[in-house]
Structure 1
Amino acid sequence: MRDALTLRGNHALLTRANPLAKFSGVVLITVALALSIDWVSASVALAFELLLFPLAGLTLALLWQRGWPLILAAAVGGWSTAILAPDHGRILLDVGIWSISEGSLQLGLGFLLRGLAIALPAVLLMSCTDPTDLADALAQQAKLPHRFVLGTLAAMRLVGLMAEEWQTIGMARRARGVGSHGNPAQRLKATLGQSFGLMVQAVRRASRLAVTMEARGFGGAQRTWARKATFSRLDAWVVLGGLLISGAAVAAAVAAGTWNMVFLGQQ
């Protein structure tokens, strides 16, 4: 609820755009990046994406706070690719059990940058989109089934509650002396126990929510809308921006000679 109020009070440009328009822009960028594993196209797309964050009222600190798991995953994936990929070109580092060559380093760097360039638009989309507005657009404009839309809305609302629930369970367990000490195996066991408690709470909360929504007529055939979802000139610019970013990334890679259509078997 607090995040929704924050979004409503945020007058940044992208927060006012239609959720489906923002989603379309993210899809356009993702498709272009999924076609190649080169570092040039990923670098160009990433540079443009970082320029978009101020338009959503976000900072680099908030980016790290909300997207650090994805950033770390991309870093680990890039490093793993660099040391496990076949050697090609001059050997840059050789420690016996693994080595890094010019070709494997370029491949790992491309994987890292591409992972970041694909993850950041998703973080941007979720950070500047109110779940209720997204549900309205999915139901009114995308014509998706009401039950699917309401389930998606409930899931998005419960994500923040589950994070708070995890902290509450952790503090309660530490108050009883569980999970606050011991060797790594004991701490792992305590974490698994806390995860099971969170799962039980999630099932209970989902059951109560389902009963409440059914009692209030959310499954009815006739629906009315408090807010009308519409497309505006801003939404057209958002979609065009996604198309331009994807086109610029592809054009830069082709011009640099690094474009690599991995799905077509080109090297």
Structure 2
Amino acid sequence: MDPYAERVRASPLRFLYGLNPLAKLLAPLPAMVLLAFVRDLATPAAFLALTYAVLLVGVSITPRLLVVLLALVPAAAVSIGFGFSLWIDPSGVDQSLVVWRVGSWTLYGGALLVGFATGLRIAAIIALALIAGLSTTGPDLVRAAVQQLRVPYRIGYTALAAFRFVPRFGHELEVIRHAHRVRGAHGGRGTLAAAARWSGYLVPLLAGAIRHAERVALAMDARAFGAHPDRTERHLVPWRIRDGVFTAAFVAASGAIFWVLFPWGAA
């Protein structure tokens, strides 16, 4: 059973899961490009609000995700904005309001505006990336790239096989750690003991990776993988009308935000 189809049926109201992965990548792309050229506060704030609205409606909200969206992203924007404001040349903003003065050093309101605008831009770009990141898996993206973008399936499914290695490595690492713990190898605490333990994990982990890669290569060769220019897809990730509607609507909303809020006169 295709996990993509299972997730769509399990979350009928969370529309992002049912969209083509390429639609979720293409729709925010113009906004992410435009944000590199804005310097005001209103434009990235509007893009951030739009993205939050799409995420809150389009994906399943877990407590961890809620903390990320409502606490970590704003905190990162404030921290980055304040950090950037400290590096702004005072000679360019010395006509603005003095916010903080320590000896000969002065923090101006203009520097804070520039810094927080930068922090908001970065936060908005991160939030836009979450539209695809929170509702798309690697296998879905590979299938869509092969089926819609005509990426050669030899490349796409080789990348998919490599992607499948990641959870297997985690499982094998846990097995190796348990085996070392049972045998009492590399005991002790501290940095040197931890380094010794990890050095002991690397060789068996590398050997397991080589064995697994050899089995995958033999299986692909036995199935004549790559012998034909095309292959029959078991799991289809089609481009539907709703994918085009979502892409067009998001691009239109992004263009409207940029047209209304961007300070054209100041540019």
Which TM-score band applies after superposition, normalised by the shorter structure? 0.7 to 0.9
DSSP-derived class of the 1:84 partner = coil
The residue number in structure 2 matching 1:77 is 80
The superposition leaves residues 16-52 of structure 1 with CA deviations (integer Å, 9 ceiling, x where unpaired) of 1111111110212211212224322110001011111
Give the stretch that moved more between structures: 159-168 or 224-233.
Answer: 159-168
- Indicate which of 212, 233, 244 corresponds to 1:236: 244
User: Is residue 2:89 matched to residue 1:86?
Assistant: yes
State how far apart, in whole Å, the 2-side matches of 1:96 and 1:161 are: 57
CA contact (8 A) 1:40 1:249 kept: no
User: Is residue 2:213 matched to residue 1:207?
Assistant: yes
Give the stretch that moved more between structures: 161-170 or 35-44.
Answer: 161-170
How many equivalent pairs are there?
256
Larger-Rg structure:
2
The residue number in structure 2 matching 1:250 is 258
Cα 1:180–1:209, aligned 2, differ >3 Å: closer, same or farther?
farther
Cα drift, residue 223 of structure 1: 0.6
Q: Structure 1 unaligned segments of length 5 or more: list them.
A: 261-267
DSSP-derived class of the 2:99 partner = strand
State how far apart, in whole Å, the 2-side matches of 1:74 and 1:173 are: 43
Q: Partner letter of residue 213 of structure 2?
A: S
Matching of residues 122-133 of structure 1 within 5 Å: 122-133=129-140
CA contact (8 A) 2:78 2:116 kept: no
Give the stretch that moved more between structures: 80-89 or 98-107.
Answer: 98-107
Q: Structure 2 unaligned segments of length 5 or more: list them.
A: none
State how far apart, in whole Å, the 1-side matches of 2:69 and 2:201 are: 21
Which structure is higher in RCO with an 8 Å CA cutoff and minimum separation 6? 1
Cα 1:124–1:200, aligned 2, differ >3 Å: closer, same or farther?
farther
State how far apart, in whole Å, the 1-side matches of 2:54 and 2:68 are: 16
The residue number in structure 2 matching 1:39 is 41
- TM-score of the superposition, structure 1-length normalised? 0.72
